[in-house]
Structure 1
Amino acid sequence: MTDDSAVRDLYSRLLDAWNRRDAKDYASLIADDGTIIGFDGSIETGGQEVEEHLAAIFADHPTASYVAKVREVRPLGPDTVLLRAIVGLVPPGADDLKPEGNAHQTLVAERHGDTWRIVLFQNTPAQYHGRPHLVEQHTAELRELLTARP
């Protein structure tokens, strides 16, 4: 598996764990010193802290599911890769995106031996203040992925 494929797979597994509301699987992808920066600006470091944070969220909130499109995968060095994606959220019980949940996600992964782990994951709201055409463009691009699903 190429580095590009391995990091795309890592990102896919991260979103899958979120969509399944599995804090343990999600946290297992984070490096011991890895940091996530959430949609609300919260910062968690290390797998245990991430797992505890997400377990509380999943216990108290019906979370929406991610739909994502990777925009860029770029090596930063021999064992470090940057991935950027756009995402949207489909609320529980719905079949369409909620544009208020649109975001840009950035992931930095490091390889240790044969294993890739996330050292930084940031989820930034994509609200495009004053530019509704960009909200529409972001949402439409992800809706194409929804309609392509079996």
Structure 2
Amino acid sequence: MTVRAAEPAVRELYRLLLTAWNERDADGFGKLFADDGVMVGFDGSQVRGAQAAGHLRPIFADHPTASYVARVEEVRPVGAGAVLLRAIAGMVPPGRKELSPERHTIQTVLAERQPEGWRILLFQNTPAQYHGRPEETQRHTAALQPLADDGVTVA
């Protein structure tokens, strides 16, 4: 499998994932995972793909969640029928247009082509704290703020 063949489908899978989050659509988010996939949340929570929707429903019901914007940094095959996507992401709190730098993250998706289409085996959402390197936080913000300004979810 070449990146050229898989990249559009995996980018679309990632866009659908962040769109489902932004729309607070727990079922839409969960259906993108393989049943044996894993989601590792910003706080370190680990949830099996089959339980992702159930995990997110109370979060969406009880908390005003921020919206993601992201820029894909790399897409590459890691074997027959599997692709790794890495992105930088940020969050825009409800009612604002500016990113919250303290919520910057590095996101990783490992996707696999399954009979029903591409599914997520791993979604890892790691805080991008950049301890002692404020210029990295500024660079992250500068890369994503134009997307937030233009209402773009994934570039």
Assess same fold via TM > 0.5.
yes
Partner of 1:80: 82
Q: Which amino acid aligns with 1:21?
A: R
Give the whole-Å Cα distance in 2 for the aligned partners of 1:114 and 1:29. 10
Q: Secondary structure of the equivalent of 1:128?
A: coil
| Structure 1 runs not aligned, ≥5 long | none
- Backbone CA RMSD of aligned residues: 1.4
Give the whole-Å Cα distance in 2 for the aligned partners of 1:80 and 1:54. 26
Query: What does the per-residue CA deviation read over 1:101-133, in whole Å, with 9 as the maximum and x for residues that have no partner?
Result: 100000000001360000000000001011111
Query: What does the per-residue CA deviation read over 1:60-80, in whole Å, with 9 as the maximum and x for residues that have no partner?
Result: 100000000000000011200
| Structure 2 runs not aligned, ≥5 long | none
Partner of 2:33: 30
Partner of 2:49: 46
Structure 1 segments, 4+ long, off by >6 Å, are none
Percent identity between the two aligned chains: 56
Q: What is the 5 A alignment of 1:1-150?
A: 2-47=5-50, 49-113=51-115, 115-149=117-151
Q: CA deviation at 1:46?
A: 2.5
Q: Which amino acid aligns with 1:34?
A: G
Q: Is the 8 A contact 2:10 2:118 kept in 1?
A: yes
Q: Which amino acid aligns with 1:147?
A: D
Query: What does the per-residue CA deviation read over 1:2-34, in whole Å, with 9 as the maximum and x for residues that have no partner?
Result: 310000000000000000000000000000000
- Greater length-normalized contact order (CA 8 Å, ≥ 6 residues apart): 2
Q: CA deviation at 1:41?
A: 0.3
Q: CA deviation at 1:144?
A: 2.2
Q: Secondary structure of the equivalent of 2:55?
A: helix
TM-score (norm 1): 0.95
Q: Which amino acid aligns with 1:124?
A: T
Q: Secondary structure of the equivalent of 1:127?
A: coil
